[in-house]
Structure 1
Amino acid sequence: MDLILLLKAAIMGVVEGLTEFIPVSSTGHLILAAALLKMPGEKIKLFEVVIQTGAILAIVSLYAERMWSTLAGLPRGDRVAVRFTANVSIGFFPAALLGFLFIGPIKAVLFNPLVVASSFIAGGLVILWAERLQAQGARARIEQIDDMRWTDALKVGLVQCVALIPGVSRSGATIIGGMLLGLNRRTATEFSFFLAIPVLFGAAAYDLYKNHHLLSRADIPMFAVGLVAAWLSAWVCVRWLLRFVSTHTFVPFAWYRIVFGGLILLTAWGGWIDWTP
């Protein structure tokens, strides 16, 4: 058993868990981490997608009561359960369709550190703009997830498509997009959590189906370590984030994105760090 490889898998899992649900781009951080750890190849790209399911398990476990009440209510035709499921499905569809059609070219062309760094900076500027609108008195019209209409879910789902560009951040696109579309900060954050369930499970299942030939039994420990590390770190991060958004803005994340993206571009331009995996 390669202990160094397992340690790298654990680091990648922690990076995934800590960045999946905050607006800083987990995919972007994983691409950068893989470059620094020198973990190249198609198998690592598959690993990066699959360990996202570990982060989703954190959402399922933290919102188990809501998940169960929804599953129990659907056969009875419960209006809240049906509306919630419909909204998540509608929000999921646009990114699922575009991802299915274009994920190959996206991975081939855009999955590189310089694209990630540029997206970090652009996303940070968008967050600052959105928070400035909030500070100027923009009022939320939706206070609860169950108050969302199907049109609200569709709009958030369309915004989520931008996150197919690595470095943009799926959570950032859906949370900030949701706020700009009238959701309050906590509702936008929680709807982003729930949208992640079908999006990331679907992406992992599709990637496994397309690339299962890359795997062997020897890869099981690496994937298992990455999944568990992602689950535990995401569980901690989500609990912290829900407390954070009740009293803080996303401005610190915006400046983190801008500074980190600038550092990546500067070190790449100066030749101080080789960001190629």
Structure 2
Amino acid sequence: MLPNATDSVILGLVEGITEFLPISSTGHLIITTHLLGLDGDTVVGNDRKGRPMTLKDAADTYTVIIQVGAIAAVALIYWSQLSRILAGLAGKDPAGIRLLRNIILACIPPVITALAFKSFIKAKLFSVPTVAGALLAGALLMLFAEWWRRRSEAQAPATASAPEFTGADLTPLQALTIGFVQCLALWPGMSRSMTAMVAGYFVGLRPVRAAEFSFLLGLPLLGAAAVKDSLDGGSAVINAFGWFNIIIGLIIAFASAAVAVRFLISFLNKHGLTSFAWYRMALAVVLGFLFIF
């Protein structure tokens, strides 16, 4: 059975809510498409090279395409940061140029790694058991990072008069370090935003600033993925979902991402990443009982 409007609303909600939270949008979408029965092997069209695409392939591509809605929400919320980059390109804001440089450097490692291992990742890692493993591994990494951050802040507390360290203040090596850690997110269930935030902790960014830099990194990375997948398999997605359901998914992803980003910034100020780590561990256990054991 082909997807309907309800499926599109659910996928849009899951995409928008989880894309920028440190809980893995890819992992949640793999689980959601499985629960909705959209992981079948019925052929629904061909990709750009004429290879057959199954319903599962089309659903996976659909979830990448509707990322554009989530991207648009972040671009709107952080337009002031993007305008600084534009001002930097015009020679009016040196910090804007540094921010752009750091975004580019942090994007290079995951892009190269994704291109090199894309076939292996799609063939071997897109399953519920591997997602459960990544959720658990990521949770442990988050707990360690939160412990490390709190200890570091206790040893060297920030003064009220000191300027806050931001993404524009990173050195090129620090930006590359964040990029290399993001490569872990190619394991579905790990989370790109989580790995960027954790790496941000390790190079000196406070939780909110690490999250903001993670959001900005998502714009080119997610945008490029959406464009590529649209070109490769867009016709099969249209055959399976139809234009109406694609538009629904984009709108729902936009609205839910805007709410999720606002929530995350407020939550991190008070609680850090610990609660998200416990959620990931609980979800990994549930998946283990339902789908693995």
TM-score if structure 2 supplies the norm length? 0.86
Of residues 62, 65, 69, the one that matches 2:84 is 69
Cα 1:69–1:183, aligned 2, differ >3 Å: closer, same or farther? Answer: closer
Give the match's secondary structure for 1:22: coil
Q: Which runs of 5 or more residues in structure 2 are unaligned?
A: 40-55, 159-163
Of residues 60, 68, 82, the one that matches 1:45 is 60
Take 1:135 and 1:223, find their aligned partners in 2: how far apart are those partners? 43
1:207 CA displacement: 1.3
1:200 CA displacement: 0.1
Identity of aligned residues (%): 34
Take 1:261 and 1:102, find their aligned partners in 2: how far apart are those partners? 25
Of residues 98, 110, 121, the one that matches 1:106 is 121
- Bigger mean CA offset, 204-213 vs 253-262: 204-213
- Bigger mean CA offset, 208-217 vs 99-108: 208-217
Give the match's secondary structure for 1:136: helix
Of residues 266, 271, 286, the one that matches 1:243 is 266
Residues 186-205 of structure 1 aligned to structure 2 (within 5 Å): 186-205=208-227
Q: Deviations over 1:90-111 (max 9, x none)?
A: 1111111111222222112100
Aligned amino acid, residue 206 of structure 1 = K
Residues 50-199 of structure 1 aligned to structure 2 (within 5 Å): 50-76=65-91, 78-138=93-153, 139=156, 143-199=165-221
Aligned amino acid, residue 150 of structure 2 = A
Q: Deviations over 1:183-233 (max 9, x none)?
A: 211111110000000000011111122223424366211211111111100
Q: Which runs of 5 or more residues in structure 1 are unaligned?
A: 271-277
Aligned amino acid, residue 260 of structure 1 = L
- Bigger mean CA offset, 108-117 vs 219-228: 219-228
Asked if structure 1 preserves the Cα contact closer than 8 Å seen for 2:71 and 2:222, the reply is yes
What count of residue pairs does the alignment treat as equivalent? 268
Asked if structure 2 preserves the Cα contact closer than 8 Å seen for 1:106 and 1:165, the reply is yes
1:243 CA displacement: 1.1
Q: Which residue matches 1:11? A: 10
Cα 1:76–1:35, aligned 2, differ >3 Å: closer, same or farther? Answer: same
Asked if structure 2 preserves the Cα contact closer than 8 Å seen for 1:117 and 1:260, the reply is yes
Residues 221-260 of structure 1 aligned to structure 2 (within 5 Å): 221-260=244-283
TM-score if structure 1 supplies the norm length? 0.91
